[in-house]
Amino acid sequence: MTLSHPGLATLRRPGLLMQAARHGLAHYRRARLLPRLLGGETRPERALPRLIEAEARLEETRLRGDAAYSIPAHVEMLVALLAEARLAAGRPVG
């Protein structure tokens, strides 16, 4: 997938994590998930940068081996990130 946002161009995550996120795209419900992940922020111009920052924090937690790391939360964040990147590029999500 080609991602045009600079923060996404270098996104490298484990294959299984990305596979799960891509599978979740078909079930993405922006109105339900985005407010929960971003504390109510749903403006398209603000959502993608905030998702990139939040996902980077999850990735740091994963790499540290921190017990607070949650795979389901990371997949959920990646689903939203990929979906919002597609929406920003004018592409369909599912």
Asked if residue 59 belongs to a domain, the reply is yes
Domain count across the chain: 1
pLDDT confidence of residue 89: 84
Q: What is the pLDDT of residue 5?
A: 60
7 three-class SS? helix
CA angle 74, 76, 83 (to 5 degrees): 120
Task: Give the amino acid at 88.
Answer: A
Higher per-residue confidence, 91 vs 22: 22
Task: Say if residue 8's pLDDT is above 80.
Answer: no
| 32: in domain | yes
Evaluate whether residue 73 is within a structural domain.
yes
pLDDT at 93: 78
Task: Say what the pLDDT of residue 48 is.
Answer: 93
Per the domain annotation, does 3 fall within a domain? no
- Quick check: is 33 in a domain? yes
Residue 6's pLDDT is what? 60
Residue 3 has pLDDT above 90, yes or no: no
Q: What is the pLDDT of residues 40-91, one digit of tens each?
A: 878 878 999 999 999 999 999 999 999 999 999 999 999 999 999 999 888 8
Q: Looking at the domain assignment, is residue 22 inside a domain?
A: yes
Token pair belonging to 87: 């929406």
Q: Does 21 map to a domain?
A: yes
Q: Is residue 83 part of a domain?
A: yes
- Residue 63 is part of which domain span? 14-88
